[in-house]
Amino acid sequence: MDSSPLSSAHTSTNDMTISTYFADVYRWMTAALGLTAVVAWFVSQNATISQFLAANSMIVWILFGVELLFVFAIASRAHRMSYGTAIGAFLIYAALNGVTLSFIFALYTTASIFNVFLVTTLMYGATSLYGYTTKRDLSGLGSFFFMALIGIIVASILNFWLASPMIDWVVTFGGIIVFAGLAAYDHQKLKKMALSGGPASLAILGALSLYLDFINLFLFLLRLMGDRR
């Protein structure tokens, strides 16, 4: 076993690199979550905007399409984006997501939204800690969860017409399992990304991944535990 000062120094440098990377990732993930929450609350409390969105569902679909474009742009071009551009794109996406998610305040009580947010935070924290600390290679699970996510999306689209309570139950529980698993997988993946190096904008790509895991886990838990108005 190599216990030389040089080896210890190398380990300390790696730990510092990982800590610095995750500090940046979590800073922007938290900022994006906060921005989404503020925009969603503001839109839900503004009768003019809420009524406009309710009466023009096509606008909501357009916004959703624009959000997907931002996600794909950040995911595919993060290596070539400047740090500032990546931050701007991520925050615009988070704000747009707040607009499209404002409907939850009309469907669920504010108290249950807050309670589910706390549950999500605890569950997300536990799975993230596991992914960050485990020595087990989770790369194989990443492919499994991705395929399961495709299945959930297809089932959700089909159930839009079928309206089956059983399919809805399977989709809800499946979504919770998938995004809890992805939280663990993405933390391990980002830890490896930090060690491999790269431009500062990659921290925004990491923040986007964790943001999506958290938001989707929250929405599926809300479907399961939220008190409807």
**Are 42 and 161 in contact, with CB atoms under 8 Å apart?**
no
What pLDDT, on a 0 to 100 scale, did the predictor assign at position 7? 45
Asked if 128 and 184 touch (Cβ cutoff 8 Å), the reply is yes
Q: What pLDDT score was predicted for residue 6?
A: 41
Q: What is the pLDDT along the chain (229 residues), one digit of tens a residue?
A: 444 544 444 444 465 588 889 999 999 999 999 999 999 999 999 999 999 998 888 998 899 999 999 999 999 998 889 999 999 999 999 999 999 999 999 999 999 999 999 999 999 999 999 999 998 989 888 888 989 999 998 999 888 888 888 999 999 999 999 999 999 999 999 988 888 777 888 999 999 999 999 999 999 999 999 999 7
The pLDDT value recorded for residue 16 is 55
C-alpha to C-alpha distance for 186 and 179, rounded to whole angstroms: 10
Region class of 136: left (phi > 0), else alpha (psi between -120 and 50), else beta: beta
List strand residue ranges (DSSP E) for 69-131, in order.
none
Total-model pTM: 0.89
Q: Cα(206)–Cα(15) distance, rounded to whole angstroms?
A: 17
The pLDDT of residue 189 is 92
**Per-residue pLDDT, 18:** 85
Residue 50 structure tokens: 């809420």
At residue 51, the 3 state secondary structure works out as helix
Rg of the chain over all Cα atoms, to the nearest angstrom:
19
Residue pair 191/137 in contact (Cβ under 8 Å)? The answer is no
Give the span between the Cα atoms of 104 and 100, in whole angstroms. 9
pLDDT at 201: 86
